Amino acid sequence: MAGNSGSTGFLRRFAQSEAAPGIVLMICAALALVLANSPLAEPWHDLFHHRLAWTPIAKLYNLHLWINDALMAVFFFVVGLEIKREVLAGELADSRRRRLPVLAAIAGMAFPAAIFLLVAAGDPALHAGWAIPSATDIAFAIGVLAIAGKGLPPSLRLFLLTVAIVDDLGAVLVIAFFYTTGLDLAWLGAAAAILLGLALLNRFGIRAITPYLIGAALLWYAVLHSGVHATIAGVAAALTVPLALNRKHDSPLLRLEHALVTPNGFIVVPLFGLANAGVALTLGEGGSLTLPLAIALGLVLGKQIGVLGSIVLAEKLKIATRPEGASTRQLWGLSLLCGIGFTMSLFIAGLAFPATPLLVEESKLGILAGSLVSALGGLFLLKGSARVE
């Protein structure tokens, strides 16, 4: 009984730790990678890509589509809730405090894209993947930061979170504007009408959660058929959920975020990792190293140059000040952690090359390599850096 109680207590403490979602995601990614390079590779692939015997939505005809187009809408819904909370009541609400993380996030997206296009300049077929190395994975990055140990300034975590949230917003805009094709105006009109209805719920002071969840589901269904990627509906719906606090300092947005953050971190994102991280560690017939190299260099070098460079430049120009108590080594390590692009990078890779599975697989190699180097490099610089001035 005592042993059972101890293991239950450990699991509870682990689930409540900051590192837990990142560690679970790492385990799922590693499992997918092992299975994809084992004798079970073919049945593992078929599990996600084989056409289902029955599906209630014709467009989602296999498990991979259900995860990427439906379940990931929940991930984007949580992202939208986080963005709205930060903009209205968090770090992004204060113009002085948001200046540096916003600059760092923008530069941290621009430089990886520039390096990608520089490396892939000779092959126009690869140019659609320019946004793949621009993303930062919040769960992975925060997980590695937590593993780095105690003694780091609390301002580092806050800065990383804010940069990653702005980065997510940028990624959502990129998906909406650059990876949308074949619009169906009727479904798009229906989506706009549903979104307007959700906005009116907010405007008229509706605080019950259920109408927003029903509206979000309807919006997702309409967007799924509109030609815009269905997960954008998650962010759009989240932005209509009221944040206004009542006398108990509670709100529909905070209740939803609190309710969804655990299933998002321990179910949605790990399932996405299982379904998308599996890649053969050898180039297929006709494969090339150009795409993996462009993505890996974008993540490892581009993020460092963009994030750290913007912090140094902002300080020199007296535009903003660095996170309180943070050393240059710690900021360098943090900029490396921003190069962990896993979840969003894998997602964008599937959108960039929808008709070319070989390029998606090559993208995965670059994402995994770049994210691993960034994670290890950031961990090395941050580990024990509290004692380094």
Q: Answer for the pair 237, 77: CB distance below 8 angstroms, yes or no.
A: yes
| Other Cβ atoms closer than 10 A to 181 | 10
Residue 388's pLDDT is what? Answer: 43
Question: Given this model, what pLDDT does residue 231 score?
Answer: 85
Which candidate, 120, 102, 98, places its Cα nearest to that of 110? 102
Please tell me the predicted confidence (pLDDT) of residue 266.
93
Q: 240 CB contacts (<8 Å, ≥6 apart)?
A: 195, 198, 199, 201, 202, 212, 215
Q: Residue-wise over 6-20: b if at least 16 C-beta within 10 A, else e?
A: eeeeeeeeeeeeebb
pLDDT at 230: 87
Q: By the 8 A CB rule, do 262 and 139 touch? A: no
Tell me the mean pLDDT per 10 residues along the chain, length 389.
62 76 91 95 95 96 96 94 90 84 96 98 96 92 85 88 90 90 91 98 94 97 92 94 83 94 93 92 77 98 97 94 91 96 93 93 95 95 70
* Structural domains in the chain, sorted by start: 66-277+289-387 (1.20.1530.10)
